[in-house]
Structure 1
Amino acid sequence: MTPDPFSAAKVRMRELAAAYGAGLPGRDTHSLMTGLPGVELRFLSLGWRDGAFDPEHNVIVINSDVRPERQRFTLAHEIGHALLLGDDDLLSDLHDAYEGDELEQKIETLCNVAAAAILMPEPVVAEMLERFGATGRALAELAKRAEVSASSALYALAEATPEPTIYAVCALGKPPREALPADPDSPSGEKVLSVRASSSTRDVKYTLASGTPIPGDHPAAVAFETGMEVKESSYVPFRSGKKMKAFVAAYPSRGLVTVSFQLDAARLGKKEDRA
């Protein structure tokens, strides 16, 4: 392993997943399973769990109660577990470098990397970046093209984006407890636009925490309210209240707003017409 074992592990995981995906006849549920002969697929009600892979009985179980796009990503994730278990060298390297909860977290992350590589091959991600740049629209279009949720697509897009960028998926939700009004007579059940999921490119240390509220005058909130794409210099609204300058490209789609925060200084100070 290299001095950074996890980076090397992600590279290897992407290679395994890309090779698996290249041999599939398609990306529908049946086609995804063709690379695992002898493994049975079952759909059951699993409560809070999305899915599981049982290597002892060669069974992948998917939660029948979640949305179809979530089921596809979960299936690809569980295939990632099967690929990982089939690579003795990678598995050994992980056990040498990590243990306990950290090992489990690293494995789950690698399986998300695998799922993204299977459902969103590099040429598809590259095409979205070439057409739309590192923008919220690129994220929305990738999710549509790959038939996955925007929350799933953002990880693949972040991995492929060369510029320092934070991506986020925002939707209406309950405000965090610390943001609730102090006045007990004030309405507390009103939903606010907040972050559902976030990821960043490999050279950016920060992401936006789930539940982070979006201020009403922020470009992401304006895009949500107007239904129009907004691109302008603004900021990253961290939950702590701190702000980081960024070029924001927010794109409303299907009740969500997909947002990119480009941190490249060359972009700051610019403003583009709202589409």
Structure 2
Amino acid sequence: MELRHLRYFRAVAEELHFGRAAERLHIAQPPLSQQIRALEHELGVPLLTRSTRRVELTAAGAAYLDRAVAILDAVDDAADLAQRVAGGSAGRLVIGCVGSATYSLLPALVRALREALPGVDVDVRGEMLAPAQITALLAGEIDLALLRPPVEHPALQVETIRSDRLLVALPEDHPLAAATGVSIADLRGEDFVVHAGHGHSVMNNVVTTLCAGAGFVPRIRHEVEETSTLVTLVAAGLGVAVVPEPTAALGVTGVRYRPLSGDRPAAVDLLAAHATGAHSALVERVLDVLRRVARTQQRPDIG
């Protein structure tokens, strides 16, 4: 038995006429009749009763038709799904994201993906530090990473999505909270709240490098894994922090954000990375949406 036998039987059973069924199938009537008889012979039961005037389903034929239709529809659905997955309009995608972009870019991206690619199941993993995302990409645990540079691995393909200026997060009652801008040198002697160091955080290295350029070593009082925790500790008055601008989207009460001033604007890039060998039509479609969202997204208010 082949799928064509089921398609032949379905046409005859729905038309209840061999001539019309043959026209529908674009085949001659005699071969169609032969195929139906061969199917009945293989099953060992009559599926149709025939006379010179009419064709009718037997009880066995009616039951067989229900299952045959379900099988054929499932096969057609499977083919359609395979084509949509190959074309990037269906499937599943897991996105990892650094803390600051988790609260700004990621919500807008997920909404845009739901609208542009409704057949794609998107799973997000926020608050992932860059090294963890790289490991997850290489292990196939995530498909797309939104992270900070540097990303240097031959198995990963990387592009810059946008550049986020750096802000200083201050407790609202801090003397510098009313300033129009704050330089790194202004923070000499302050307690710092930073992301976990020891090679696990890009922003930790950024803060250390900025302070070294200003001639001092930051006095780090608290190291945290999540951006939300970092900002909460600043609001509690436990220190100051240097953060990418999208962090302001958190809107934590008790924090004031001021631009980091200097000879040139201080900023950190946001990258999109994926495994080179895993590049697919789906990843490319998601990247197209990501680029559009990143271009149109407005900067969060700071204050």
Would the TM-score normalized by the shorter structure come out above 0.5? no
Higher helix share: 2
Structure index of larger Rg = 2
Higher relative contact order, structure no. (Cα contacts within 8 Å, ≥ 6 residues apart): 2
TM-score where L is the length of structure 2: 0.22
